Amino acid sequence: MTESLAKTAGPRASLAIFGGTFDPIHHGHLRTAIEIKEALGVDELALLPSHRPPLRGEPGADSLQRLAMVSAAVAQEPGLVVDGRELLRETPSYTVDTLRELRAERGSNISITVTMGSDAFNKLHRWRDWQALFSLANVLVLHRADYPLGMDVQVAEFVAGRRLGSASALTARSAGGFYDLGLIQLPISATDIRRRLASGRSIRYLVPDVVADYIAEHGLYTQ
């Protein structure tokens, strides 16, 4: 299927994806997922736990455990769904592969927006086939408090002509648009949660109770 997609304005079905290692999923991710869904006005926001994250070491919890925690966390949240497709591939979880699969399934007309925090976006120039992401989807970047937007010069040039005036303008296009969004950011990170658990401290109110219970039952992140 061709990667040059129609970019005409107009109402269309829409989907946003929010990928991550989710090691573990926390309230920073969940609050952000809701903000993304509202800002874009999408029909559906899918969280995509990565199986083998390309630019980082082995996660502390295995893929099925991370998938189970994400699924439990969103079970009560209408409009948020989990997409476990990256666990079905043995290759590193390249976003471009995921988007190609989604396009093949959903067709060229649906609006797809891939979303990521500024920490992830600042490394975009190291992603597999990163320019192709913009042929397959729109890109929405969320400012994270500790990570000012500091994109690579090549990426900056590439997105300059693609910047739209609002997040919701992305959903009127099938692909190719870019927007960076300032939103309420909870200063929570999975790294900090893993450190707390390793030193026997509480993680209550940083993650949903179902996730804290799962971690305790499976003895995760104790070292």
Ligand X SMILES: Nc1ncnc2c1ncn2[C@@H]1O[C@H](COP(=O)(O)OP(=O)(O)OP(=O)(O)O)[C@@H](O)[C@H]1O
Q: Tell me how far CA of residue 70 lies from CA of 5, 51, 73, 221, in angstroms.
A: 31, 13, 5, 16
Smallest distance from the beta carbon of 161 to ligand X, in angstroms?
24
Instruction: Supply the DSSP string of 79-114, one letter for each residue.
Output: TEEE--GGGG-SS---HHHHHHHHHHHH-SSSEEEE
Structure tokens at 185: 């950011």
Q: Which of 67, 73, 120, 188 binds ligand NCN (CB under 6 A)?
A: 120
Smallest distance from the beta carbon of 33 to ligand NCN, in angstroms?
13
132-161 residues near ligand NCN, rule: CB under 6 A? none
Binding partner of 144, given ligand X, ligand NCN, none, CB within 5-8 angstroms per partner class = ligand X
How far apart, in whole angstroms, are the C-alpha atoms of residue 109 and residue 13? 8
How far apart, in whole angstroms, are the C-alpha atoms of residue 94 and residue 108? 20
> Is residue 172 classed as helix, strand or coil in its secondary structure?
helix
180-199 residues near ligand X, rule: CB under 6 A? 185-186, 188-191
- Asked whether position 23 contacts ligand X by CB under 6 A, the answer is yes
Which of 15, 116 has the CB closer to ligand X? 116
How far apart, in whole angstroms, are the C-alpha atoms of residue 68 and residue 45? 18
Site residues, ligand X (CB under 6 A): 20-23, 28-29, 32, 116-117, 119-120, 142, 144, 185-186, 188-191
Site residues, ligand NCN (CB under 6 A): 19-21, 48, 50, 53-56, 93-96, 116, 120, 127-128
